[in-house]
C-alpha cells in the first residue's frame, strides 16, 4: 500500500509545530530533526518524502522523540511504517553483504604476519585472517552477528578495556560512519545501525550531532590484548573499490616491543589452546 502522502503530511505537520532555535521561528529545520534523531539529513529527508519502508523501530522511536510525539502519535508513526511494508526486494546492491572474491580471500589469508580483516561501509566484519581474529579476540568473542566493529566500540563494555585510548578510536569511527551515510543515503541497514547506536550510546549521539571531525585513512592505536599485553600498532585502510570493501591491517616494526608481541600472538593463534577457544565459540 502506498501511504507516502499520509506519512509526508504527518511528519511535516509535527515538525512545523515545534519552535526552531536556529531559525528563530516556528517549525524545526529538517537538519535539526535529523541531528536530534541521530540520522543523516539525507535519510530524514527521505522519511519526510514519505518513505518509511524498512525503517527499524529504534529509528522510528528516535524520530518520535525528536518531534516530541506523544504515545498516540508514536504508535501512529509505527503503524504508518508497518503499512509501508518491509524492505523491498529490489534493494540497492550495497544493502546486503557482498560476496568476497576468492582472490581477495587468498590475499587476506596469505598475510600470516599481519592481522587484517575485511569490512563493508557499515563496518560489518565479513572476513578476517587468523592473526586478525587473534588480535581482535574481544570483538570476535561477542555473540552478536553479523559482527560490526562500530557496534563493538560503542556497545560492548570490553571495548574500553581493549582500546587503551578509546576516544581516539571511537570518535573517528563516528566520522567514518557519517561519511558512509553521505555516500549511501538509501542504505536502510546503515541508518538503522545509526539509530541503534544513537539510542544506546550517549557518546555516539553527541558526536553524531556535532558533525565535526574527519576520516583518517591511517592511524596509530594502542590495544590491551588479554594474552600478549599492550601493543602500539599502525592501522592502515586498504580499499577494494569494485566491491565497496575495506581491508583494515595492523602492523608494527620488527624488533620493537609491539613487533615481538605480534610474533608471540601469531604463535598463540596457531596453538591448540587458541584453536580450542575458537572452536568452542563457533559451536
Please give the pLDDT value at position 24: 56
Please give the pLDDT value at position 282: 44
Each residue's pLDDT expressed in tens, for the chain with a length of 283 residues: 468 888 999 999 999 888 766 555 667 888 888 888 877 788 888 899 988 887 888 888 889 998 999 888 888 898 888 877 654 443 444 444 457 889 999 999 999 899 999 999 999 999 999 999 999 999 988 777 779 999 999 999 999 999 999 999 999 999 999 888 888 877 888 888 888 888 889 899 888 877 666 667 788 999 999 889 999 999 999 999 888 899 999 999 999 999 999 999 988 877 755 545 554 454 4
How far is Cα 143 from Cα 241, in angstroms, rounded to an integer? 30
How far is Cα 143 from Cα 101, in angstroms, rounded to an integer? 26
Quick one: which H or E segment has residue 10? Answer: helix 4-16
Contact 233, 251 (CB under 8 A): yes
End-to-end, the C-alpha distance of the chain in Å comes to 43
Please give the pLDDT value at position 278: 53
Please give the pLDDT value at position 272: 52
Which cell numbers hold the place of 57?
523501530
**Torsional class of 210: left (φ above 0), alpha (ψ -120 to 50), beta (otherwise):** alpha
For residue 104, what are the contacts with CB-CB under 8 A and spacing of at least 6?
A: 118, 240, 243, 245
Contact 66, 36 (CB under 8 A): yes
Q: Write out pLDDT tens, residues 10-20.
A: 999 999 888 76
Amino acid at each position: 500500500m502506498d501511504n507516502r502522502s499520509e506519512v509526508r503530511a504527518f511528519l511535516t505537520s509535527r515538525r512545523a509545530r515545534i519552535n526552531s532555535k536556529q531559525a528563530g521561528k516556528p517549525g524545526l529545520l529538517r537538519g535539526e530533526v535529523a541531528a536530534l534523531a541521530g540520522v543523516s539529513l539525507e535519510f530524514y529527508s527521505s522519511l519526510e518524502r514519505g518513505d518509511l519502508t524498512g525503517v527499524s523501530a529504534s529509528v522510528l522511536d528516535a524520530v518520535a522523540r525528536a518531534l516530541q510525539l506523544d504515545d498516540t502519535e508514536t504508535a501512529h508513526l509505527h503503524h504508518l511504517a508497518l503499512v509501508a511494508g518491509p524492505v523491498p526486494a529490489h534493494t540497492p546492491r550495497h544493502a546486503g553483504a557482498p560476496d568476497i572474491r576468492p582472490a581477495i580471500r587468498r590475499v587476506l589469508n596469505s598475510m600470516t604476519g599481519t592481522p587484517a580483516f575485511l569490512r563493508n561501509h557499515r563496518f560489518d566484519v565479513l572476513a578476517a585472517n587468523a592473526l586478525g581474529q587473534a588480535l581482535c579476540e574481544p570483538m570476535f568473542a561477542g555473540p552478536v552477528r553479523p559482527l560490526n566493529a562500530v557496534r563493538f566500540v560503542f556497545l560492548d563494555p570490553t571495548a574500553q578495556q581493549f582500546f587503551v585510548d578509546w576516544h581516539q578510536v571511537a570518535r573517528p569511527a563516528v566520522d567514518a560512519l557519517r561519511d558512509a551515510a553521505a555516500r549511501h543515503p538509501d542504505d536502510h541497514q546503515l541508518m538503522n545501525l545509526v539509530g541503534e547506536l544513537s539510542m544506546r550510546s550517549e557518546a555516539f549521539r553527541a558526536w553524531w550531532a556535532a558533525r565535526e571531525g574527519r576520516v583518517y585513512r591511517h592511524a596509530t592505536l594502542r590495544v590491551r590484548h588479554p594474552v600478549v599485553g599492550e601493543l602500539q600498532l599502525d592501522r592502515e585502510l586498504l580499499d577494494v573499490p569494485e566491491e565497496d570493501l575495506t581491508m583494515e591491517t595492523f602492523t608494527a616494526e620488527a624488533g620493537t616491543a609491539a613487533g615481538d608481541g605480534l610474533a608471540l600472538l601469531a604463535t598463540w593463534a596457531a596453538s591448540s589452546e587458541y584453536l580450542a577457544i575458537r572452536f568452542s565459540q563457533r559451536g
